[in-house]
Structure 1
Amino acid sequence: MDFLIKKLFSIILLTALVISCSAPKKEAINYSELPDDRLTQIADSLAKSFIIVDGHVDLPFRMNVKGFMITKTVEDVSVETTGNFDFPKAKRGGLDAPFMSIYIPARYQETGGAKYFADSLIDMVSRLPETFPSMYAMANTPADIEVNFEQGLISLPMGMENGAPIEDDINNVKYFFNRGIRYITLTHSKDNQISDSSYDTAYTWNGISPFGEQVIAEMNKWGIMVDISHVTDSAAFDALRLTKAPVIASHSSARKFTPGFERNMPDELIKAMAENGGVIHINFGSTFLSKESRDKFDKMREDLTNYRAENGLTSDDSVYTSYANQYAIENDVYEDVQKVADHIDHVVNLVGVEYVAFGSDYDGVGDSLPKGLKDVSAYPNLIKELLKRGYSPEDIEKICYKNTFRVWKKVQEVAQELQ
C-alpha cells in the first residue's frame, strides 16, 4: 500500500476513534476515561500520524562495535536485530527521525584520531541510505525530514557526541557542518578542549574554555545546534550566556529525580534553557530516571562482578547472562514508562510543554532501558501514558517533533543572519 494511503488511513482511523469515544460535541475528550484498548489504538495512531524525532540514538557506534572499522560494511538494520533500533521496530513505533549519534569516546582526546574516527562513522551512516534506499534517507534540515516522512523514509540526521573531533582547528566546525552534523555535544565523559564534563572532576576550565567560546560562536554562524548534555552546570550556563541561538540537551533528564547526578539537569538550568528557547530531550535510561534505580544498578554491578569472579565466568558466558537477566528481574532494577512521563511532567510543570522532547539514548544505555520502552517500537506506550495524564494530541505533537523543529529552524535563521 502506498505510504500516503497508509497515512490517510491512519488519520481516518484516529478520527473515527476520537468521534466514537468523544463526549457531546464541543466538549473536550478525557482520554484517561477511555477503555485501555481504545487508548492503545489512539496512541498507536498518533505515533504513526505525527513525525517522531528522537534526539539521540547510538546506532552508529553499535555498528562500529560490530566491525565497521574492519569490514567497511553496515549492519543489516533493514530487518529485525537484537539492538534497540532497526527498520521494522522503528516503523512499528512510528519513529521517523532518530538523530544518529556520532559518538567519539574520550580516549581519542589522548590518543589522537578523533576527527578520523568521526569521519568514519559519518561515512558509515551515509551508507545506510545507499544500501537501503527504500528505507532510509539523510536529512540536514526539518524540511528534509518532512519530505522523507511523506515518502515513508526514516530520516537520519546526525549529531556529534563530543566536540573532540574539532581538535584545535576552528575551521573544523564548518567542515563538520558540511559533512551533515547538525548538533555537537560539547564534550563527553572527560573535559576536552572545549568544555568541562559532568562526569569529570578536574574542572579544567570551570565551564567553557576560551577556545570553546570560539567554537560556540562558529556553531551559531554555521547553524549547528549547541548540545549541553554531558557538560557541567557551569559550562551549561556559560553556553547559554555565549550562544546567540537556542540550545538543546539531546539526551538528558531532570536532576530532581536523581539528586547528586550532575549529568541530569537541575531545575534552574531547565528554566534558563527555556528562557533561551531551547529544548531538553528526556533520556530513557533507568539510571537517568530515579535515584532508586541508580542505587539498584550500582549494587547489581557489584554483585554480578563478584558472581563472575567466584564462578570463573566472563560476561559473554551463557550461564552468566542467564543469571544476570534473572537477577535484574528479581531485584526490579528497571524503571518503567511511567517514570519517563514523570520527567516530562516535571519539565512541563516547570516551564511548559514547548520545551521538552524525546532523547532516548537507544543503543547507548545498554540494558538499563525501562519497562515498556525497551526499543524503538515502544513510543506508542509513552504516548499512551501521556494521554492518560491529560496531554492533548496537540501537546504530544509538540513533544514528538515540533519543539525540536522550532529550535532547529531558529538556529538556521540565526546562522543566516550571522553569515
Structure 2
Amino acid sequence: MLSLASFSSHADAPIKVSAQANQIAQENIIVDGHIDVPYRVHKKWEDVSVATEGGDFDYPRAKKGGLTAPFMSIYVPASLDNSAESTAVAHQLIDLVEAMVYRSPDKFAIAKSVADVKAQFKKGLISLPMGMENGSPLQGSMENLKTFYERGIRYITLAHSLSNHISDSSYDLRRQWHGLSPFGKEVVVEMNNLGIMVDISHVSDEAFYQAIEISKVPVIASHSSLRKYTPGFERNMDDKMVKALGENNGVIMINFGSSFVSKETQDWRNNLTKRKNALIKEVGEDSPQVAEFDEKYRKENPYPYSTLEQVLDHIDHVVELIGIDHVGIGSDYDGVGDSLPVGLKDVSSYPNLIQGMLDRGYSRADIEKVLSGNLLRVWSEVEEYAASH
C-alpha cells in the first residue's frame, strides 16, 4: 500500500485484445498477489460486489478481467507500529473481507488453501485469500501469529515503510537490526511451521537475504518490481536478489505502479520532492506557495505514466535471469493511487497483459504459470511443509 495524491487523469490508449487472450483470462485462475481493497473500504465504505465509481477493483471489473484469486491486503500503516491499535486494525480489515463474503456469497469466498482457490474457481466464485502487509500487528506474539493464520492470513510482508520489531524496511534509513530482528528470525521459522508464506516485499536487502537463508520453503515478493529499471530504488529487487530468489524456488510478483516500473517516473517523483523541500527551506512549511506546490508542479510537469510494455519488460527480465517458473502478478491495485500504467488501469485489464505476453511469444502454458501457476506452486510447497511439521 502506497498512499499517493491523485494525479491528472490519463486516457488509456486502446489495446486490441484477441479472443485468445480473453479466453486465457477466463479459463484460468488468475492470482494477483496484492490488492488493497480492505484498506480502501476501511477508509471509505464502498460495496465492491457491484460497479463502483472509484477504486481499481470491483466484482464486475474483476469478472471482465478474469481475476479469480486476488490476495486481499491486510495493510496496517507503519504509524501504528508498537501499538495495540495495529493488531486491532488488522482484525478489523479481516472482518471487512469476511463481510464482503457474507454479503455476497454468490460472488466471493474466503480462500485459506490452494484447494479452496481451485474449488471456488470451479464454482465461478472469486476467491479472497488474505496477506498481511506489515508484520507489526503480531506485536511480538507467536499467539497473535497463530490467530492470524486461523483467520486466513496466508502471507506476511515482514515490514512496511518503517523498520519494525520484525525487520528493517527498504524505505527506512535506520537499519536497527541489520536485517531481521531476533524475533523476526523466529517468526520466519514459525511461519514455515504454520503454513504462512514469507513475503520479502518492502524489507531491506539484508533482511531479504536472511529470510531466504532461514526459510525452509520458497519465499515470495508479493508486489515488487526490478531495480534494473529503477536504479537506486531499494524497494525493488536487484538482479542478484532475483537470482537468489530463483535459487530459493520463490516467486517475484510484478508491481504495476508507475514509480515501480519506470525510471522516468522515479525521476519525476524525486524532482518533485527535491524542489518542494527547497521551497520549504526558502519560504517555510506553512507558506501558501508550499500548499499549492504539488498541484502547480503536476500541471507544469505532467505525470509520466509507465506503460504495459514496460511492465512486460520486467516480466521478460525475470524470465531471462531465472526462468518462467519464478514470476507472477502483484499489481498493487487500490494501493498506488492514480499511478497505474497505460493499459493496466484496473482489474479488468489482465487480458491486456495476456495479449502483451502473446505478442512477445509466450506460450499459453508459460502465461498460465505467470497468471497463477507459480504462486500456487509456492503456496502448495508451504502447505506441504507445514503439514509435515
Provide the C-alpha distance between the structure 2 equivalents of 1:414 and 1:149, rounded to a whole number of angstroms: 24
Q: Unaligned stretches of 5+ in structure 2?
A: 1-14, 280-286
Greater relative CO (CA pairs within 8 A, separation 6+): 2
Deviation string for 1:170-212 (max 9, x for gaps)?
2221111001000000010111111100000110100111111
Name segments (4+ residues, structure 1) moved above 4 Å: 300-306, 310-315, 323-328
> Is the counterpart of residue 388 in structure 1 residue 366 in structure 2?
no
Deviation string for 1:277-304 (max 9, x for gaps)?
1000000000001211111234456789
Q: Counterparts of 1:310-329 in structure 2 under 5 Å?
A: 310=289
1:168 pairs, out of 135, 140, 147, with 140
Provide the C-alpha distance between the structure 2 equivalents of 1:209 and 1:268, rounded to a whole number of angstroms: 23
Larger radius of gyration: 1
Provide the C-alpha distance between the structure 2 equivalents of 1:179 and 1:130, rounded to a whole number of angstroms: 15
Q: Unaligned stretches of 5+ in structure 1?
A: 1-35, 67-73
Change (3 A) 1:145 1:339: same
Q: Deviation at 1:151?
A: 1.2
2:312 pairs, out of 311, 327, 341, with 341
Provide the C-alpha distance between the structure 2 equivalents of 1:389 and 1:398, rounded to a whole number of angstroms: 15
Partner residue, 1:377: 348
Which structure carries more helix by proportion? Answer: 1
AA partner of residue 321 (structure 2):
L
Provide the C-alpha distance between the structure 2 equivalents of 1:397 and 1:118, rounded to a whole number of angstroms: 32
Q: Counterparts of 1:279-318 in structure 2 under 5 Å?
A: 279-299=251-271, 309-310=288-289
1:61 pairs, out of 11, 16, 39, with 39
Structure 2 contact 276–290 (Cα < 8 Å) conserved? no
AA partner of residue 125 (structure 1):
V
1:92 pairs, out of 64, 71, 93, with 64
2:114 pairs, out of 142, 155, 159, with 142
Q: Deviation at 1:110?
A: 4.5
Partner residue, 2:8: none
Q: Deviation at 1:313?
A: 6.2
Q: Deviation at 1:310?
A: 4.3
Structure 1 contact 170–214 (Cα < 8 Å) conserved? no
Partner residue, 2:76: 104
What is the SS of the residue equivalent to 1:366?
A: coil
Q: Counterparts of 1:109-124 in structure 2 under 5 Å?
A: 109-124=81-96
Provide the C-alpha distance between the structure 1 equivalents of 2:191 and 2:199, rounded to a whole number of angstroms: 11
Q: Counterparts of 1:239-254 in structure 2 under 5 Å?
A: 239-254=211-226
Provide the C-alpha distance between the structure 2 equivalents of 1:121 and 1:314, rounded to a whole number of angstroms: 34
Provide the C-alpha distance between the structure 2 equivalents of 1:201 and 1:311, rounded to a whole number of angstroms: 25
Provide the C-alpha distance between the structure 2 equivalents of 1:98 and 1:339, rounded to a whole number of angstroms: 22
Partner residue, 2:229: 257
Partner residue, 2:25: 47
> Is the counterpart of residue 276 in structure 1 residue 248 in structure 2?
yes
TM-score normalised by length of structure 1: 0.83
Equivalenced residue count is: 366
Provide the C-alpha distance between the structure 1 equivalents of 2:154 and 2:162, rounded to a whole number of angstroms: 22
> Is the counterpart of residue 364 in structure 1 residue 335 in structure 2?
yes
Structure 2 contact 82–136 (Cα < 8 Å) conserved? no
Q: Deviation at 1:134?
A: 1.2
Q: Deviation at 1:366?
A: 0.8
Deviation string for 1:301-335 (max 9, x for gaps)?
678998x94497699xxxx6xx888667xx35100
Structure 2 contact 82–139 (Cα < 8 Å) conserved? no
1:158 pairs, out of 99, 110, 130, with 130
Change (3 A) 1:325 1:376: farther
TM-score normalised by length of structure 2: 0.90
What is the SS of the residue equivalent to 1:137?
A: strand
> Is the counterpart of residue 128 in structure 1 residue 106 in structure 2?
no
Provide the C-alpha distance between the structure 1 equivalents of 2:195 and 2:83, rounded to a whole number of angstroms: 29
Structure 2 contact 83–139 (Cα < 8 Å) conserved? no
AA partner of residue 62 (structure 1):
R
Identity %: 52
Partner residue, 1:410: 381
